[in-house]
Structure 1
Amino acid sequence: MTRTKLCGLTRECDLDAAVDAGADMVGVVSRVPIETPRELAPDRAAELVDRVPERVTSVLVTMPETPEEGAALVDRVAPDAVQVHGCSPNEVRELTECITVPVIAGVDAADDDLDEYATVADALVLDSTDEQGAGGTGETHDWMRAREIVADLDAPVLLAGGLTPENVASAVETVAPFGVDVSSGIEDERGTGTKDHAKLQRFVARVSGEPLRA
């Protein structure tokens, strides 16, 4: 079964809607060096994480300058897992040695060192990243290459980048990933950070194989 991660949540109502829709994972963003409406202060991120029921995995998404900074933020927010972007394989390895929760490494589908990330991270998010290594760009990438990556790597891979309720079923069929990760594709308007509850419900339904409804 393909897992579903709904990310960039900023409001209690959006979090509750994601849980009610059947999301396996929910993500909050904190401490990133880019301008985004999805970023939360650490204490606010901790409030939302505390609201997540035990059956759903809470994920802190961050871009730490150092592994030690990442570990301190994990301790403060207390998620079930942490997803880091803009980190080298060595930095990911150092972070895994500092904390007890799983580490998900955000990587670009075009990177050449994915094998290195797969040996040090618990899972990968295969995304379309910007020049700073951040995800959430809303851009798709080559799904056939993604399929090869998923087949070749030992680590679980979540597919991200430009996914929407309209294309996610095709993405799952083509790539066969461990999971899918969406943020901008379920917003009321792309880039606002505010989630459209009907979109996120349709997204989860399509991942699970239910037909798309108008």
Structure 2
Amino acid sequence: MTRVKICGVTDDEDRDAVVAAGADAVGVIHGVPVDTPREVDEATAADLVDGVPPLVTSVLVTMPTTVQEAVTRVDAVEPDAVQVHDGLSPAELGALDSRITQSIVAVVSADAPDIADYAAHADALLVDSVDADGGGGTGETHDWERTRDLVDSLDVPVVLAGGLTPENVAAAVETVDPFAVDVASGVESEGGRKDHDAVERFVRNATRATEGSA
């Protein structure tokens, strides 16, 4: 069954709504140089992660420039997994893996030439529509057929992101058959605030698409 991650949670109310909707993972953004209403400070990130219940995965989403910077953030927030956007090379991801116990999700563009290198040093790949600054959350889709080819060719789990909404997630799941789907802006009422009804529909539609293809 395709899993669901809701990213960019900024307060307790939205976190709890995401969990209640049946999402498998909650993404908290901290330590990114791009301008986004979804980023929270270290203390808030740690509090949000601490409130994620057992059997739901908390994910720190960050853009470190060094391995040590990533380690410091992970140690401070204590998530179940860390999602790394830009900044670290595949070899540096390998170094990070040796210093933390959390799973590492590496974010790549669907047309990146070094995807296989990142796959060799990560526990999962998140394929997103990445902007010029290396950040995701653009609200733009990419070539799902190309991502399906990655799913078929890589040994690591592939997470599909980029422009997903409650209206198109079923088609995305049916086309790509990813390990998981990830959404941020596609389920918001405004920047940084989740539309709880949209979150519920997103989770439901992603799940039903998986059941329909079984």
TM-score (norm 1): 0.96
The CA deviation at 1:132 is 1.8
CA distance in 1, matches of 2:199, 2:179: 19
Q: Could you tell me which residue of structure 1 aligns to residue 114 of structure 2?
A: 113
Equivalent in the alignment of 1:22: 22
| Counterpart position of 2:80 | 80
- Residues in 2 aligned to 1:92 and 1:200: alpha-carbon distance in whole angstroms: 31
Could you tell me which runs of 5 or more consecutive residues in structure 1 were left unpaired when the two chains were aligned: none
Inter-partner Cα distance in structure 2 for 1:88 and 1:182: 25
> Equivalent residue for 1:4?
4
1:159-192 CA-partner distances (Å, limit 9, x unpaired) = 0000000000000000000000000000013xx1
Please identify runs of 4+ aligned residues in structure 1 that moved more than 3 A.
Answer: none
SS in 2 for 1:158: strand
Alignment match, 1:176: 177
- Structure 2 letter corresponding to 1:110: D
**What are the equivalent positions in structure 2 for 1:25-64 lying under 5 Å apart?**
25-64=25-64
| 1:131 pairs with 2:132 | yes
Counterparts of 2:113 and 2:102 in 1: how far apart (Å)?
26
How high is the TM-score relative to the length of structure 2? 0.96
CA distance in 2 between counterparts of 1:145 and 1:109 reads 7
Structure 2 SS opposite 1:33: coil
Residue pair 1:68, 1:98 contacting (<8 A) in 2 also: no
- Classify the secondary structure of the residue corresponding to 1:105: strand
1:99 has 2:100 as partner: yes
Offset, 1:208: 0.8
SS in structure 1 opposite 2:79?
Answer: coil
Distance in 1, matches of 2:185 and 2:111, equals 21
How far, CA to CA, are the matches of 1:161 and 1:121 in structure 2?
20
Counterparts of 2:25 and 2:148, CA distance in 1: 22
Instruction: Name the CA distance, whole Å, in 1 between partners of 2:131 and 2:93.
Output: 19
The answer (yes or no) to whether the contact 1:45–1:77 under 8 Å persists in 2 is yes
Unaligned residue ranges in structure 2 (runs of 5+): 210-214
Q: Which amino acid aligns with 1:25?
A: A
